[in-house]
Amino acid sequence: MSFMPVILWSDALVFLLISAISTGAFYVRKREHLLLPWKRVARSSVALVSMLVLSVFLIVGLLDTLHYRVALPQSSNGEKVYSPEVLSAFDKLVGPLRTHTEKTYSAPFALHLYAKESMTDAQGNVVREYPRLQYGGAHLADESGRDADVLKRALVGMLAGSLVGVMLAWLLRRRYKQPALTVTLVVLAALIGAIINLSAVYHVLGTDKVGQDVLYLSLKSIRTGLIIGTLTTLVTLPLALFLGVAAGYFRGWVDDVIQYIYTVLSSIPSVLLIAAAVLMMQVTIDTHPEWFDTSAARADMRLVALCLILGLTSWTGLCRLLRGETLKLREMEYIQAAQAFGVSSMRILSRHIMPNVMHIILIALVMDFSALVLAEAVLSYVGVGVDPSMISFGTMINGARLEMGREPVVWWSLASAFVFMLVLVLAANLFADAVRDAFDPRLNRTEGSV
């Protein structure tokens, strides 16, 4: 089956970010003084374990960034036409999760729908029963064997995953010797193996109102969270870094102007400011439908615009931190000695100020990443987040809002979004702490410390 690659705006920005990170890694690798802090990070068990968990999320997000459109059967005139639906490599990889949809709600590992329906029994009587699922547990002839089947499939999947984890740990044994990393790798591989084996025949996390697999929705939400967390920081960092360091180092009227700007911006309620900008952006998109050839392109443009809006409204906190740190560093003896010897301001900023605020930048950016992932859920809840057609943690939580008020309670959509967000944010915060400890020059550590 032929297909046409599709590069959305967010895809292009992700590829640009990967290129920038690769270039930066190559640059750091050739310079020992820049590589030394990252070696400290690599010796930290907490950093490696959290990075391993983040790597799973990153792999899912990158696979979901490779988009394409499938070719439809050729028309009578021989013209090749492509489907308006934009899929990704991740959708292809987990095809059954995407296509095996039920009629409505079903609980995790359930064999029946969550609500009763009117059915006709063998005697022709109309009764109220829970209908059998079309895909969940359809292989079972005897429903009483579900628990034993779930246990068997989970153990087989865990065994296969553990073997893969042991092989990966053996391959990494020379480079990374931390026992915690090995244990985490094996446990994580076993968990993934069990989920893969179970999700082939069951809805592991249940289904939502329209019968979509909640596990699939949770995994698809990862890309949206990563996009908002990373692309927004790309907008925040240049503004906060340039303005914060300039205000703290040059002081005078430069400091007054920059302080006035971020004080005024901080005094405006952020939710109202973001909502106003998003609504204006939405009006622009709605009045120019010719800009987009697919609904996915339209939703993606709103996602990129949301990242831009969040970046332009969330740089003030980091800017204030960098200004305060630069004001303190400016009075240090080595800075004043450099000024006395006539060293240019640009060289002082690049050689003395920047390295000593890098730990603040790194910890603030990762913390902001965590806050932005959570902020997307809040914004989508109030209706000013991502496009409703885009799968995200926010849209899942917004959809679960009414589900929590029904009887019986449909809890698994909210619980799934909560668990995935918790693991992502917790891993990012732990990694940020390890990076902060490695880069902070005030922590007088020996090279061999962790």
pLDDT digits (tens, 9 = 90+) for 80-134: 777 888 899 999 998 888 888 888 888 899 888 887 777 777 777 777 788 888 8
Cβ neighbour number for residue 170 with a 10 Å cutoff: 10
pLDDT at 61: 92
Does position 195 have pLDDT exceeding 90, yes or no?
Answer: yes
pLDDT at 82: 79
Separation CA 418–CA 425 (nearest Å) = 10
pLDDT at 318: 86
Q: Do the Cβ atoms of 353 and 245 come closer than 8 Å?
A: yes
Does position 218 have pLDDT exceeding 70, yes or no?
Answer: yes
In the sheet that holds 67-70, the strands lie side by side as 3-6, 67-70, 87-88
- The residues, ordered by sequence, that sit 6+ positions from 42 with a Cβ below 8 Å of its Cβ are 48, 176
pLDDT digits (tens, 9 = 90+) for 131-145: 888 888 888 888 888
Average pLDDT over residues 6-12: 89
Average pLDDT over residues 362-377: 79
Distances (CA, A) of 189 to 67, 183, 420, 423, 431: 26, 10, 17, 16, 20
Per-residue pLDDT band for 441 (boundaries 50, 70, 90) equals low
- Which of the pair, 403 or 257, is modelled with greater confidence? 257
- The residues, ordered by sequence, that sit 6+ positions from 175 with a Cβ below 8 Å of its Cβ are none
Does position 77 have pLDDT exceeding 70, yes or no?
Answer: no
Q: Do the Cβ atoms of 17 and 234 come closer than 8 Å?
A: yes
Per-residue pLDDT band for 190 (boundaries 50, 70, 90) equals very high
pLDDT averaged over the chain?
A: 84
Cβ neighbour number for residue 284 with a 10 Å cutoff: 12
Which letter, b or e, does each residue of 153-165 get, where b requires 16 or more Cβ atoms within 10 Å of its Cβ? bbeebbebbbeeb
Per-residue pLDDT band for 447 (boundaries 50, 70, 90) equals very low
- Which of the pair, 424 or 354, is modelled with greater confidence? 424
Q: Which two tokens stand for residue 371?
A: 């806050």
- The residues, ordered by sequence, that sit 6+ positions from 443 with a Cβ below 8 Å of its Cβ are 437
pLDDT at 445: 46
Average pLDDT over residues 297-311: 87
Does position 1 have pLDDT exceeding 70, yes or no?
Answer: no
